[in-house]
Amino acid sequence: MTQARRVVITGVGAITPIGNTAQEYLSGLKNGVSGASFISAFDTEKFKTRFACEVKNFDVNQFIDRKEARRMDRFTHFALVCADEAIKDAGLDREGSFDPDRTGVIWGSGIGGLDTFLKESVEYAKGDGTPRFNPFFIPKMIADIAPGHISIKYGFRGPNFSTVSACASSTNALIDAYIMIKLGKADVVVSGGSEAAITEAGIGGFNAMQALSTRNDSPETASRPFDKDRDGFVMGEGGACLILEELEHALARGAKIYAEVAGFGLSADAHHITAPHPDGLGAANVMRYAIEDAGLSPADIDYINVHGTSTPLGDIAEVKAIQKVFGDHVYQLNISSTKSMTGHLLGGAGAVEALATVFAICHDFVPPTINHFTDDPDLDPAINFTFNKAQQRTVRAALSNTFGFGGHNASILFKKYH
C-alpha cells in the first residue's frame, strides 16, 4: 500500500481589518491591534450598532481592472486579492509550477454578495413590479462565484466549489481542500474564505438577533471575548487564503513550508438554529475528532485559536468543551480569540483564524485576546486566555475552532512540519 499523502501549507495571503497583507496581519496579531471603528460603508444613524471591523485603505482598482471589479461583490474582491498574494507567495505564478488539472480552488463564504442582494432588491422594490434585474445580479451575489473567479484568472481546472456553514464556512473549505489532496483528487488547492457583510442588511440582520455588541461609546474595546462584560460580537470583513499542497509535490518544487495540516473534526450540535449547545457538546466532539485524526493526544496541543465571538453564551460553552476534552492539560494550553482584534469575519473567520494559527506555529508565539478588563466568574481563572498581550512559547500543534449558526462545528489541526 502506498504511504498516506501528507498536506502542507505553502503560501498565505490576507486582507483583514488589522492588515491588508499577510505580513501586516501578522504584525497586527503580534501587537494586539484592534480593527474596530465607526462604520464608513453606510449611514448608521438608525442602527443599534454603529461600528465594525472594516478593511481600511482598500482600493480594489489597484488590484482588479475597473470593469472586472464592477462585476463582482466586495467578498469576491477580497477573495481575489488575498488569493493572488498567496499564489505568488507559494511560487505558483511561475511557469510550469503546477498542473492546472490537479490544482483546485475551494473557498468559503457564509453569505456571499449580501450588499449586491440588498441593492438589487431595493431597485426592484422601487419599480412597478416589472422585473428589471441587472444581468450581473446573480453572478455577483452567489457565494460560489469567488472560487470561480480565482480559477478563471489563473487557469486552475481542478476541483472547484464553495462551502457554506455560516461562521464555519472557510474552515469547511480548508478541510475539504485537505480531503481532496488526501484522496488524490488534487495536488494543490487554493483555499480559504472571505466575507463582506458590513452592510445595512448585515448589521441590521444581526442586530435583530441581538448578536452584535452595541458598545457604541468604545468600538475598539467592544470585542472582548471571555470578559465579564462582553455583550456580543463585532462584525468584521475581509478574508485569507492558504495554499494547501501535497507534501511530495511541495518538496519536488522546493516550496517553502509553513506548517502541516494534520487532521480535522466535523459535527453538529443538533440543538438550536442559533444558540450553542449549553455544554459545548458538538464543540468538544470536533476537537476530540481532530486530535484523534492527527494521531495525537490532547497533551500534544499547545494552542487553541477559539471561536470565542464575545457573546455571553458561546464563550462559556466553548470553554466547557475545551475543559471536557483536555482535562488537566487545559492549564498547559494557550487559548486565544483573535476575534478580539479582527472582529468576526463570519464565513471568512475560519480562514483568517487558520492563518493566525499557522503563524503561531511558524513563529512560536500566541496572538492575544485583547480587551480584557474584568474576569468572568463563570470561567476558571487558571486557564491561560492570553489576555491583552501576545505570548512567546513553542507551538508544536494547534487547533482552530469555528462554529456556525445552524449548529455546525469544525476544527482543523495544524502542526509543525518536520
Partner 1 sequence: MSDIASRVKAIIVDKLGVDENEVTMEASFTNDLGADSLDTVELIMEFEKEFDIQIPDDQAENISTVGQAIEYIEKAVKG
User: Which residue type, as a one-letter code, is found at position 382?
Assistant: A
Least distance CB 314 / partner 1 (angstroms): 41
Is 167 part of the annotated catalytic residue set?
yes
Q: How many helices (H) and strands (E) does the chain have?
A: 13, 14
Taking CB under 8 A as the binding criterion, the range among 19-27, 65-73, 78-86, 382-390 that sits at the site for partner 1 is 65-73
Within 66-110, strands assigned E span 103-108
Least gap, CB of 93 to partner 1 (angstroms):
24
Cell of 381: 481563572
Nearest Cα neighbor of 84 from 218, 200, 177, 194 is 194
What's the min distance (Å) between Cβ of 80 and partner 1? Answer: 16
Q: How far is the CB of 282 from partner 1 (least distance, A)?
A: 42
- Does 63 participate in binding partner 1 (rule CB under 8 A)? no
Minimum distance, C-beta of residue 129 to partner 1, in the bound complex (Å): 15
The region of 60-68, 146-154, 223-231, 357-365 touching partner 1 under the rule CB under 8 A is 60-68
Angle of helix 349-363 versus helix 169-182 axis, rounded to 10 = 60
Characterize 194-205 residue by residue with b for buried, 16 or more Cβ atoms within 10 angstroms of its Cβ, and e for exposed: bbbbbbbbbbbb
Rounded to whole angstroms, the Cα distance separating 64 from 71 reads 11
Nearer Cβ to partner 1, position 122 or 209?
Answer: 122
Which stretch in 61-69, 295-303, 341-349, 373-381 sits in contact with partner 1 by CB under 8 A? 61-69
Q: According to CB under 8 A, which one of 46, 67, 126, 418 is a site residue for partner 1?
A: 67
CA distance between the termini of the chain: 23
Using DSSP's 3-state secondary structure scheme, residue 309 falls into coil
Of residues 85-144, those binding partner 1 (CB under 8 A):
132, 134-136, 139
- Among candidate residues 53, 82, 167, 241, the one labeled active-site is 167
- Helix, strand, or coil (residue 402): strand
Closer of 66 and 418 to partner 1 (Cβ):
66
133/373 with CB nearer partner 1 = 133
Whose cell is 511557469? That residue is 95
Options 65, 93, 101, 380; binder of partner 1; rule CB under 8 A: 65
For residue 319, give the nearest of 240, 211, 401, 199 by alpha carbon.
401
- Count of residues interacting with partner 1 (CB under 8 A): 11
Q: Residues interacting with partner 1, by CB under 8 A? A: 65-68, 70-71, 132, 134-136, 139
Active site residues per annotation: 167
